[in-house]
């Protein structure tokens, strides 16, 4: 059963939330809390829940609580719903999802869709054929695809690379199988979930030491996509 929880310190408009229909096929349970202790108690029993964390302004106490949740309940999926000025903060904290006020029903449904697909995504694999045989590479280990003429360079975590005698458009299907992959340039498909930082026309990935050099235009495009602008 899918566990869905709404948290807002001080109070929630339950009448509006209770009218939401998350699924017609899947079993789900919706619950609410208005205090920090209630939220932590809930997560101690349902650590894999999707939590909509609603706050008007992201204060220090909220940051501390979110860090506590991340460290104690790493499998919880936090969807931070607050003012758009905190989008970069949400990205730095690596919350599961972010929505800016005003929050629409579609925003809530979109996060739920990501939540129910996350296990499928984490187990998705790219099947690569070569003269040495068949190799399966989990999509989560792929940082980006780079076009190189009639070849495509697949860049993985830990600075590993695989070359394929296929053009990059033949790998665009990964953008349909996982929403974390985006083709933001004719020569690149990026796994935005693996991005650690971006600055000074350099893109860094988690578990990878070498940055990717970018043009100013592509750097700007990636930043906008990361911040959902």
Give pLDDT, residue 203: 97
Report how far residue 188's alpha carbon sits from residue 184's, in angstroms, rounded to the nearest whole number: 6
Give how far Cα 23 sits from Cα of 14, 46, 51, 124, Å: 18, 19, 17, 23
Q: What's the mean per-residue pLDDT of the chain?
A: 90
In the chain, what percentage of residues exceed pLDDT 90?
A: 67
Give pLDDT, residue 122: 47
pLDDT tens string 148-161: 989 999 999 999 99
Give pLDDT, residue 229: 47
Using the predicted structure, report yes or no on whether residue 175 has a pLDDT greater than 50: yes
Give pLDDT, residue 218: 96
**pLDDT tier, 30 (very low <50, low <70, confident <90, very high otherwise):** very high
DSSP states of 91-102: HHHT-SEEEESS
pLDDT tens string 213-226: 999 999 999 998 88
Question: Of the segments 12-16, 21-25, 37-41, which one has the largest average pLDDT value?
Answer: 37-41
Contacts within 8 Å (CB) and 24+ apart, 16-21: 20/105, 20/108, 20/109
Q: Which candidate, 80, 48, 56, places its Cα nearest to that of 66?
A: 80
Report how far residue 172's alpha carbon sits from residue 167's, in angstroms, rounded to the nearest whole number: 10
Domains defined along the chain, listed by start: 2-122 (3.40.50.2300), 125-226 (2.40.50.1020)
For residues 37-51, give the mean pLDDT: 94
Q: What is the pTM of this model?
A: 0.55
Using the predicted structure, report yes or no on whether residue 118 has a pLDDT greater than 80: no
Give pLDDT, residue 16: 80
């Amino acid at each position: 059963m899918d566990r869905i929880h709404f948290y807002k310190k001080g109070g929630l408009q339950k009448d509006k939330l209770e009218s939401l229909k998350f699924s017609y096929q899947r079993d789900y349970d919706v619950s609410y809390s208005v205090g920090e202790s209630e939220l932590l108690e809930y997560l101690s029993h349902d650590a894999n829940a999707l939590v909509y964390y609603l706050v008007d302004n992201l204060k220090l106490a909220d940051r501390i609580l979110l860090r506590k949740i991340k460290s104690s309940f790493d499998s919880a999926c936090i969807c931070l719903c607050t003012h758009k000025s905190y989008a970069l903060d949400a990205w730095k904290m690596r919350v599961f999802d972010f929505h800016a006020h005003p929050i629409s029903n579609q925003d809530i449904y979109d996060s739920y869709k990501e939540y129910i697909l996350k296990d499928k995504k984490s187990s998705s694999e790219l099947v690569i054929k070569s003269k040495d045989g068949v190799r399966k590479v989990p999509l989560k280990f792929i940082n980006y695809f780079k076009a190189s003429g009639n070849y495509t360079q697949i860049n993985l975590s830990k600075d590993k690379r695989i070359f394929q005698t296929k053009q990059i458009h033949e790998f665009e299907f990964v953008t349909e199988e996982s929403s974390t992959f985006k083709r933001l340039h004719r020569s690149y498909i990026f796994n935005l979930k693996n991005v650690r930082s971006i600055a000074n026309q350099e893109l860094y990935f988690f578990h990878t030491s070498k940055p990717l050099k970018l043009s100013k235009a592509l750097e700007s495009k990636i930043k906008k996509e990361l911040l959902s602008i």
